[in-house]
Structure 1
């Protein structure tokens, strides 16, 4: 009776070792795929963390950049005009704008515009403690090239009709100590001014 030739022992041992090597290679590949998945997930998480950290650093830099500009105060009020029978003033004929540098560094090239075209009629340097008070101050020229810490200015517009006064609200402009140009309007909106075009 002829039987199936099952081969000899070395062939069987070779087959067993080959199967074991194939299984080990498959396990190694599966393990490497799992490691690659974990690394990709880790890299994705790290990228997200880095993006958040970059955004926080950008926000902190912007806050530092705005810190001095936010310490500049402007108080604008309509002034002048005639009293009515009740003693209330109406038909205001000019703006009075007080500016104080409450930061710990000077600001530069301080100026006011009323509306888009009108410049101040008079500028006075006043003590910082007189920001709210009646101190008329000492006349100076505009723009004010340097306003030190704690110092204040008083700007007066020209005299106009009450309609022109109403339609030409003041906007302050100045450079912070780092050279960044800012504008502050009479409603308290602070913005970094776009760079002026180079000639």
Structure 2
């Protein structure tokens, strides 16, 4: 009788231990997922502070207030983070790089200030700094079919793409020539 009781007691203990281990495993899995999410949020924190405004330029206004006759894009980038960005460039469509880029005063995030001309890609953009990119001049149809996408590398070495719709995603670094 004592052996049967001991065996039943041990089975009960084993069942309780298995249940405890299963609960602990589930808790650890949740904690790991929370840590991954926190790491991803930290990884994206700087990139989410980079802002892009764009508009078509070179046209005139019709009677309904629409821009007509435009021939290029103007894209302004502001590094709203506390850390620098590297290798900043804007591409239009899949094949075209900006024709010109200027560093403008932070107060000129919008407006006509042409700024100081820079070479492409812009190797370093400090915190709070603003760049103004101009596309090549094209027909309206070509402008419409070649919307801007910003590419930059954050201070942690991660390469990012921010498209004209506001979609931010990690991308692969360009191969070095």
- Under a length normalisation based on structure 1, what TM-score does the superposition of the two structures give? 0.84
- 1:187 equivalent to 2:165? Answer yes
Task: Find the aligned partners of 1:56 and 1:194 in 2 and give their Cα distance.
Answer: 25
Please provide the CA RMSD for this pair: 1.6
In structure 2, runs of 5+ residues without a counterpart are none
Q: Moved runs in structure 1, 4+ residues, more than 3 A?
A: 82-88, 195-199
Task: Find the aligned partners of 2:173 and 2:136 in 1 and give their Cα distance.
Answer: 28
1:97 maps to: 75
1:67 maps to: 45
In structure 1, runs of 5+ residues without a counterpart are 1-22
1:10 maps to: none
1:43 maps to: 21
Structure 1 residues 85, 40: CA separation in 2 closer, same or farther (over 3 Å shift)?
closer
**Which one of the candidate residues 128, 143, 159 is aligned to 2:137?**
159
Task: Find the aligned partners of 2:87 and 2:118 in 1 and give their Cα distance.
Answer: 13
Matches within 5 A, 1:50-199: 50-84=28-62, 88-196=66-174
Shift of 1:69: 0.1
SS at match of 2:96: coil
Larger Cα Rg: Structure 1 or Structure 2? 1
- Under a length normalisation based on structure 2, what TM-score does the superposition of the two structures give? 0.94
Task: Find the aligned partners of 1:80 and 1:132 in 2 and give their Cα distance.
Answer: 16
Task: Find the aligned partners of 2:39 and 2:5 in 1 and give their Cα distance.
Answer: 50
Task: Find the aligned partners of 1:97 and 1:180 in 2 and give their Cα distance.
Answer: 22
Structure 1 residues 29, 93: CA separation in 2 closer, same or farther (over 3 Å shift)?
same
Shift of 1:91: 2.2
* Deviations 1:113-147 (CA, angstroms, capped at 9, x unpaired): 00001111110001122112322111111100000
State the aligned residue count: 177
Task: Find the aligned partners of 2:91 and 2:173 in 1 and give their Cα distance.
Answer: 17
Q: Please state which structure has a larger fraction of its residues in helix.
A: 1
Task: Find the aligned partners of 1:86 and 1:98 in 2 and give their Cα distance.
Answer: 26
Contact 1:80–1:89 (8 Å) recurs in 2: no
Q: Please state which structure has a larger fraction of its residues in strand.
A: 2
Task: Find the aligned partners of 1:102 and 1:86 in 2 and give their Cα distance.
Answer: 35
